[in-house]
């Protein structure tokens, strides 16, 4: 039996919530339940440095084991919450019951299944967890022909890691271009060309009809156009689904594929919060209720919820941002791009260091930067303050982005 805070899910959002509660002076017990058996770890390197062999599992830990002990955070690995009783303020696992004063759901998201025959064959992988990455890495090292289904961020990062290791990789994307919901056409085209120039083959507007095998093991991927691509390993990266089942069974409100929360991370049930990949909220920068899958969002929402529980009002007001590493490219995105926005290009894509700005009535609303970290950092401030940009200056990559606004606005933005 436990009072205090119970956190379900111990990844970027759950661990941050626990740490922020303690930083805010919260003195009651904190129980952190993790369905996984590994110490909580950084998820983004799984498709990058870990697959490339540049980082080991031990180097991915979010916090050392001692951190949880020293902070009085009761981390329970391998314990999956199975039910919530909001009226009794109780969470159950198979083995225990925990009573809570505050409950934080940080259950994250999982890989979406590909609903085609053969998806369960040996040699077909998804990549979300360290356990999956541990299985995938040696299999990739041993494979000769690899197909990635889905040209989203995870699929592209895996493809880049594979191509960087000198292997043949084919990416099959159902849409006419890459990353249609996340980046503008110019960024997508640049990435597609970059992959192609490094040996990856990309096919667009191709849906997968079946994954073929010789009994148990995968041998290829059959497309709707009749082509069969030979493969001895397939990675399926067709998006994520929020883990909302616990919340739904407890009667919590859902929206936009996630658990609906306000700017403090509060759900519609008293004392229950939801943060990170599993939560949806009315994001002022998107102008809609959205569910974001990013480390930034997980961390910032967790801080807001922890602050609220600890009695501090620190509503979430962060500009959304995200990054992806592919080959020697770091693509960073700030704000939320919108179709029909005015676009300004800073720099030459041929140099592999450039930014694309999205303006709405002269105000910066999104910035997509390739190997231009300073633009990314400046854009987060400029988007937050909603200042007007001087279009001519903004198009000149030699002018720092912070200098492309009028002086009074600049002073306001810098504060």
Ligand X SMILES: Cc1cc2nc3c(=O)[nH]c(=O)nc-3n(C[C@H](O)[C@H](O)[C@H](O)COP(=O)(O)OP(=O)(O)OC[C@H]3O[C@@H](n4cnc5c(N)ncnc54)[C@H](O)[C@@H]3O)c2cc1C
Given the rule CB under 6 A, which residues bind ligand X? 8-9, 11-14, 33-36, 43-44, 46-47, 80-81, 106-109, 127-128, 154, 243, 246, 276-277, 293-296, 298, 322-324
At 358, phi and psi to the nearest 5? Answer: -110, 125
Query: What does the alpha-carbon distance between residue 53 and residue 172 come to, in Å, rounded to a whole number?
Result: 25
Q: Which two tokens stand for residue 49?
A: 């440095």
272-274 and 102-105 as β-strands: parallel, antiparallel, unpaired?
A: parallel
Contact 5, 14 (CB under 8 A): no
In the bound state with ligand X, the residue whose beta carbon lies nearer, of 9 and 213, is 9
- For the bound state, the minimum distance from the C-beta of residue 147 to ligand X, rounded and expressed in Å, comes to 17
In the bound state with ligand X, the residue whose beta carbon lies nearer, of 160 and 389, is 160
- For the bound state, the minimum distance from the C-beta of residue 9 to ligand X, rounded and expressed in Å, comes to 3
- For the bound state, the minimum distance from the C-beta of residue 104 to ligand X, rounded and expressed in Å, comes to 10
In the bound state with ligand X, the residue whose beta carbon lies nearer, of 150 and 220, is 150
- For the bound state, the minimum distance from the C-beta of residue 243 to ligand X, rounded and expressed in Å, comes to 5
In the bound state with ligand X, the residue whose beta carbon lies nearer, of 109 and 404, is 109
**Can you point out the beta strands (E) in 251-328?**
254-255, 258-260, 272-274, 279-283, 288-291, 321-326
Q: Which two tokens stand for residue 353?
A: 């260091």
Query: What does the alpha-carbon distance between residue 116 and residue 147 come to, in Å, rounded to a whole number?
Result: 15
Query: What does the alpha-carbon distance between residue 205 and residue 293 come to, in Å, rounded to a whole number?
Result: 25
In the bound state with ligand X, the residue whose beta carbon lies nearer, of 154 and 365, is 154
- For the bound state, the minimum distance from the C-beta of residue 240 to ligand X, rounded and expressed in Å, comes to 8
In the bound state with ligand X, the residue whose beta carbon lies nearer, of 190 and 321, is 321
Closest by CA to 148, choosing from 211, 55, 242, is 211
30-33 and 5-8 as β-strands: parallel, antiparallel, unpaired?
A: parallel
Residue 201, SS3? strand
Unique residue bearing structure tokens 């600049």: 410
- For the bound state, the minimum distance from the C-beta of residue 237 to ligand X, rounded and expressed in Å, comes to 8
Unique residue bearing structure tokens 């493809």: 159
81-85 and 90-93 as β-strands: parallel, antiparallel, unpaired?
A: antiparallel
- For the bound state, the minimum distance from the C-beta of residue 250 to ligand X, rounded and expressed in Å, comes to 11
CB atoms within 10 A of CB 107: 28
Q: Which two tokens stand for residue 377?
A: 């950092």
- For the bound state, the minimum distance from the C-beta of residue 46 to ligand X, rounded and expressed in Å, comes to 4
At 20, phi and psi to the nearest 5? Answer: -70, -35
In the bound state with ligand X, the residue whose beta carbon lies nearer, of 109 and 355, is 109
In the bound state with ligand X, the residue whose beta carbon lies nearer, of 94 and 214, is 94
């Amino acid at each position: 039996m436990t009072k205090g805070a119970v956190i379900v899910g111990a990844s970027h959002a759950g661990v941050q919530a626990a740490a922020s509660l303690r930083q805010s002076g919260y003195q009651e017990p904190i129980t952190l339940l993790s369905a996984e058996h590994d110490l909580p770890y950084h998820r983004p390197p799984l498709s990058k440095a870990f697959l490339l062999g540049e980082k080991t599992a031990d180097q991915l830990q979010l916090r050392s084991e001692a951190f949880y002990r020293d902070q009085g955070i009761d981390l329970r690995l391998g314990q999956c919450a199975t039910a919530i009783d909001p009226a009794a303020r109780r969470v159950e696992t198979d083995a225990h019951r925990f009573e809570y004063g505050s409950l934080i759901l940080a259950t994250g998201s999982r890989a979406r299944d590909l609903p085609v025959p053969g998806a369960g064959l040996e040699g077909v992988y998804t990549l979300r967890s360290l356990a999956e990455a541990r299985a995938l890495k040696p299999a990739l090292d041993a494979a000769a022909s690899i197909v990635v289904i889905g040209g989203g961020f995870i699929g592209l990062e895996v493809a880049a890691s594979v191509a960087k290791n000198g292997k043949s990789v084919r990416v099959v994307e159902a849409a006419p271009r890459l990353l249609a919901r996340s980046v503008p056409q110019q960024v997508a085209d640049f990435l597609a060309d970059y992959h192609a120039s490094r040996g990856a083959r990309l096919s667009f507007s191709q849906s997968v009809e079946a994954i073929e095998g010789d009994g148990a093991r995968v041998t290829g991927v059959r497309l709707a156009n009749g082509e069969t691509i030979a493969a001895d390993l397939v990675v399926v990266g067709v998006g994520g689904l929020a883990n909302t089942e616990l919340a739904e069974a407890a009667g919590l409100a859902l929206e936009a594929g996630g658990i609906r929360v306000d700017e403090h991370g509060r759900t519609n049930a008293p004392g229950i919060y939801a943060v990170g990949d599993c939560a949806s909220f009315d994001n002022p920068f998107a102008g809609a209720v959205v569910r974001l899958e990013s480390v930034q969002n997980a961390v910032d929402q967790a801080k807001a919820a922890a602050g609220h529980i600890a009695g501090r009002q620190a509503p979430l007001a962060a500009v959304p941002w995200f990054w992806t590493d592919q080959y020697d490219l770091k693509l960073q995105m700030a704000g939320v791009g919108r179709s029909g926005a005015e676009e300004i290009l800073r720099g030459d894509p041929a140099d592999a260091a450039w930014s694309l700005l999205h303006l709405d009535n002269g105000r910066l609303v999104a910035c997509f930067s390739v190997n231009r970290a300073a633009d990314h950092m400046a854009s987060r401030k400029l988007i937050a303050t909603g200042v007007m940009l001087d279009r001519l200056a903004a198009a000149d990559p030699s002018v720092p982005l912070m200098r492309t606004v009028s002086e009074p606005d600049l002073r306001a933005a810098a504060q």
